[in-house]
């Protein structure tokens, strides 16, 4: 992970720093890390990052094209991140805590057959094969920013359709206030499931109006192809105005509930990761600032130019009304 010191602005890759303090107790702190010479090793690792990628360009996976979306905010003129960056620099703790671990380890994930169970407070619960889910609605390509809490970002062309399409089909009951997403937790194919990093299975959740917002994407592909394993195959959520960890990967259950569900990072460290987790540059993480970000692939490595973080990741015009009247420092 990329940690920004409030004192000197130096950024260094420490994937463990996002985890609760108890998990990485005993590891060297920043000064020891710098003094040890690990900074140079980390920079060398950054330079060798491309070698970790199993695929360097699209064309290796099954095609999944989508028509250009007309949903407001679903397109951007920003430069799209390189495929090799988006598929080799990932957070997916079931396959390891370092950015290069998922691309190395996620090949063990079996995505066929795959079933997503819809349950809870709905009139039409059921189990959906991945093929049936894909056919439920026309696929769209949406170019969304992805902003992670550690200070890095990308721009990715995702393929899917609004989660609202599925929600309308299953007909939530009147007392369904939240939607919970549960990720596969298979220790046979996910080597880090069972570690102390998180409470498995990984779970995330949205308020119903957030889930119904047209920008919230039920996602099956990226760059015109099906999702690579390390990016959450075969189905994930993408919520572009929230930090990336809110967008659950490799989903096996979608549950409709009345009370706010417990979510993975909130349960691990509630003082650091709130339920809403909207991108808000005015709310610092307890151990670093969220005011700026660094675009992966723009060059400069650890010392790449940083830009000002936008409220709601740049989607304020589309989603700001969802939080009217809320104290966004309290409900972080």
What pLDDT is recorded for position 317?
98
For residue 23, what is the enclosing H or E element?
A: none
Residue 139 has pLDDT above 70, yes or no: yes
Residue with tokens 């992805």: 146
Query: 20: helix, coil or strand?
Result: coil
What pLDDT is recorded for position 200?
97
- The pLDDT tens digits for 37-48 are 433 333 333 333
This model's pTM is above 0.75: yes
* Region 242-263 average pLDDT: 98
Say what percent of the chain tops pLDDT 90.
78
What pLDDT is recorded for position 56?
55
CATH class of 2-323: alpha beta
- As a whole number, the mean pLDDT across the chain is 86
What pLDDT is recorded for position 58?
81
Strands in 203-207's sheet, in edge-to-edge order, are 126-129, 115-120, 251-257, 178-183, 203-207
The domain segmentation of the chain, as residue ranges, is: 2-323
* Region 295-309 average pLDDT: 83
Residue 55 has pLDDT above 90, yes or no: no
- The pLDDT tens digits for 206-223 are 999 999 999 999 999 999
What pLDDT is recorded for position 298?
85
Q: Which of 18-27, 266-275, 291-300 has the lowest mean pLDDT?
A: 18-27
Residue 51 has pLDDT above 70, yes or no: no
Residue 278 has pLDDT above 50, yes or no: yes
* Region 184-198 average pLDDT: 95
d(CA 290, CA 311): 10
Residue 86 has pLDDT above 50, yes or no: yes
Residue 33 has pLDDT above 70, yes or no: no
Geometric angle at alpha carbon 238, from 138 and 176, rounded to 5°? 85
Residue 28 has pLDDT above 70, yes or no: no
Residue 332 has pLDDT above 50, yes or no: yes
Residues with Cβ < 8 Å from 258, sequence gap 6 or more? 121, 175, 176, 177, 178
């Amino acid at each position: 992970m990329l940690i920004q010191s409030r004192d000197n602005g130096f950024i260094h890759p420490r994937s463990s720093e996002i985890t609760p303090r108890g998990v990485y107790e005993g590891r060297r702190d920043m000064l020891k890390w710098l003094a040890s010479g690990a900074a140079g090793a980390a920079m060398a690792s950054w330079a060798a990052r491309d070698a970790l990628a199993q695929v360097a360009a699209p064309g290796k996976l099954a095609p999944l094209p989508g028509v250009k979306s007309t949903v407001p905010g679903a397109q951007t003129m920003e430069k799209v991140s390189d495929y090799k960056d988006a598929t080799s620099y990932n957070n997916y703790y079931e396959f390891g805590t370092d950015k290069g671990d998922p691309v190395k380890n996620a090949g063990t994930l079996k995505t066929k057959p795959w079933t997503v169970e819809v349950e809870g407070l709905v009139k039409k619960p059921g189990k959906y094969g991945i093929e049936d889910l894909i056919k439920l609605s026309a696929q769209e390509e949406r170019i969304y920013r992805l902003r992670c809490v550690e200070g890095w970002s990308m721009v990715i062309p995702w393929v899917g359709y609004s989660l609202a399409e599925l929600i309308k089909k299953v007909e939530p009951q009147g007392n369904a206030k939240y939607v919970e997403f549960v990720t596969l937790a298979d220790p046979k194919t996910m080597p880090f499931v069972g570690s102390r990093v998180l409470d498995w299975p990984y779970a995330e959740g949205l308020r119903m109006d957030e889930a119904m917002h047209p920008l919230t994407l039920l996602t099956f592909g990226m760059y015109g192809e099906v999702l690579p394993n390390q990016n959450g195959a075969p189905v994930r959520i993408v919520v572009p105005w929230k930090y990336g960890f809110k967008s659950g990967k490799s989903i096996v259950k979608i549950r409709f509930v009345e009370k706010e569900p417990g979510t993975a990072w909130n349960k691990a460290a509630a003082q650091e990761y709130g339920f809403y987790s909207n991108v808000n540059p005015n709310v610092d993480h307890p151990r670093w600032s969220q005011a700026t970000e660094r675009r992966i692939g723009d060059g400069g490595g650890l010392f790449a130019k940083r830009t000002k973080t936008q409220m709601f990741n740049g989607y304020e015009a589309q989603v700001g009304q969802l939080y009217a009247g809320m104290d966004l420092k309290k409900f972080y």
